[in-house]
Structure 1
């Protein structure tokens, strides 16, 4: 299940994500797409350290660093470029060879991952939010499934704007005065398993949608307050006699 080309393009390109959110008056961190604009913003006092350095076309938290001063900014910027060049990120990054990295203000607050569910016609169905407590390789390793009410307005707004199919994964921060979105992906993400273990059954609903059946509300009932972890379990994969 995949959303339209325009939705995918906005989600894949973190600069376009920023422009989309700003143009629709949705909270998002201050973002700059090159060093010149960042240095100007620093000189003007628009932004202060610490600054988040991340690949514009990134995933799995590759090449992301936090700079506390100008010296670290230079070192981590070059390190991020090297990581892009030595990984599969280099392919999409080649679309913007002079602007492979973006710079963002560091947000203060609790981070959340939202599963924004639409039906196959792009109608809003449900928002399932999880607090992100521990991360590993860009995925939520430990989180708590929480009530949807504080996030329903943002979720419904994104649903209306995108009209995406099935699922939009949204990373956001609760910055006390407003929710600020940092990234979006129109696919099942690393924090969906928490939703599933809490009671959500999106795969079953997708099958019924494809069979022409209506939305079944019981597939979207979940238990609030659960702490869920994606354990790594050691196991033997092969035995060779000494």
Structure 2
């Protein structure tokens, strides 16, 4: 093969890779646009994540994820049938849902995330994503010196303390952030966020379980069986 042929082949492969990358980013943006509509946000607030400074991008993920978790809690408390005294579960548990979404912290012990898990509205992978991105968000939010730092730096630091961080942020995908350019790390985190949003949309539209089913065994002095979950809620 001549050098000209080799150069032409390399250029073709580069262009193909560029198109695949652009399609990947466009697909993520499309999924984030769905969340914009659900949260009644102006177009581009989330979908144009690749244009945002890194710290704004991460803060926006948490700012958007929390109201989604609130919706999951409200849906989990109201979706099953069989309310007491002729009242729907939505009506009966409305005060509990209002308290939980207003007063509980997003993550940690006795949090919105733990409640959403007990309602079977999020799974272990969703929890890993939310709790890990919350750690990165806190690094940005609680130290102004970090505001100008690229996302990849904070990911590398977090990886030094937790080797599984990429699998938690990327739903099982194992990558080495230190070997990736910052822009691609940002896109991958955007993809992880889009997966969480997809899961949330599915659960907000597919009824199963619910708070009444969770509480019913307690009314008969039985023990709640949590074996259906992969592991106990995180402490």
What TM-score results when the alignment is normalised by the length of structure 1? Answer: 0.22
Larger % of helix: which?
2
Q: Which is bigger in relative contact order (C-alpha 8 A, separation at least 6)? A: 2
Larger % of strand: which?
1
What TM-score results when the alignment is normalised by the length of structure 2? Answer: 0.22
